Copies of this chain bind each other. A is one copy, B any other.
């Protein structure tokens, strides 16, 4: 059997853990891999320094590599990946020179539209003395003409492995079989396949690739990897054991899987409905992963948004603009507002905040329902924002109570990721333009314009308010990945808003961890 297996659990799984893994997990993982018929372990990335925090397996300092190399102890060879987006050929010697004795194979994921950049990078890596794998992305977009692969015919001294990558998990076995066969028949390189499991075809596609003569296949433990995840190592290894009648002891792999199952329950990769829809529609899974990861949207909201983007069959409802309705609602004369976030300080200091709003003749904007109840008796004008799932929650509350507390409900303009407003409240529901622009065809902005703070600030903008105070935007001490992401989003929005609205001042009335001008509501009450 000539087929090689490359396990890239830490590299691809790092998308969920931000490339940090516990020591005990890594040791357990590497030892288990070393006992199985695995040929390469891809342990992570080497990357130039980035501005955000990324963990050990994103940078792989030499000390980390050396300790992993010792555990492998002559078993599988080590591979690492370069992110072609972040690297120029000139960076390569600096990135790779110190790991030549330890790492055998360097891989890079390359967009077929930028194939020449990828080849230039591959040459630089080859010159450093590594075996080179070039992973060509987006196989599902390739159609059935594979002649673009001919570019690699004369590059056998540059590229050792040419991988076909089903980046969107959208390929069917027939296409994989044909593409791999074309590559095997026409190219001097060893041919690889890297699949994803969005529509539960990772194994069927791997079998098709094997049938077509593929030389190397990628897999990860329990399929851990970006979005829906990958071909599962346990499946391809058990298949080997069965088909080639090899006596492979799977029991330590079984133990390792129990550890990974715990992580899977936490992070939730796998072929979930939103990933199925993105795979079937041949859409990127990056955004889906981000939306689901934030736990702000229900699965059904994500599915609706994907379906809407894809088929336009579920258009968002539109509502009157808040700026047009301001006069009728008696909202046109506010100079000051307080935007209330979900943090505990907005509840702890609610008495002082209500008094402050009253004194300033200001407007209280609830960025979500989280702290609204605390202010239900306050005799000050209030508005409620409806980001994410908030509209759904309204169904559980009495319309009368809501009418008594709020002058109106506000959501961002269409397209938005949001659930439907209950009919009895829709007459008092309005839209605001998002403060964030939609970036080049990406749906990330969709998510940001649906942020509680984003809508709150949009209201301030729409009503020409000059002084914006925040409370309950406390930030997170330490914080898990989801919280850190949310915190980054809040900070991004604050920065974007303050630089693009220099005549509006934004300050916090209560303690906050954000980089933001801080006041004390009590000092302001004394004035």
Contact = CB atoms under 8 A, between A and B. Distances in A.
Interface of A: 172-173, 197, 199-204, 207, 232, 234-235, 238-239, 241-243, 245, 247, 249-255, 257-258, 265, 271-274, 276-277, 280-281, 298-304, 307, 311, 313-314
A197 B252 CA distance: 23
Given A250-B304, A254-B274, 11 more contacts: A200-B203, A235-B276, A241-B280, A249-B304, A250-B307, A251-B303, A251-B304, A255-B298, A258-B298, A258-B299, A265-B265
A303 B254 contact: yes
Contacts of A280: 238-239, 241-243
B203 A250 contact: no
A257 B235 contact: no
> Assembly of this chain: how many copies?
2
A81 B382 CA distance: 58
A133 to B, nearest CB: 25
A48 B313 CA distance: 48
Contacts of A243: 280
Interface of A is mostly: helix
Nearest to A205: B204
Contacts of A265: 265
Contact of A300 (B252, B274, B299): B252
A276 B204 contact: no
A234 B173 contact: no
Nearest to A249: B314
Given A239-B280, A273-B238, A281-B242, A300 B204 contact: no
B200 A254 contact: no
A276 B257 CA distance: 13
A272 B257 CA distance: 9
A250 B273 contact: yes
B200 A300 contact: no
A410 to B, nearest CB: 23
29 contacts: A173-B173, A197-B200, A200-B203, A200-B232, A201-B204, A204-B204, A234-B276, A235-B276, A238-B280, A242-B280, A243-B280, A245-B311, A247-B311, A247-B313, A250-B277, A250-B303, A250-B304, A250-B307, A251-B300, A251-B303, A252-B300, A254-B298, A254-B300, A254-B302, A255-B298, A255-B300, A257-B273, A258-B298, A265-B265
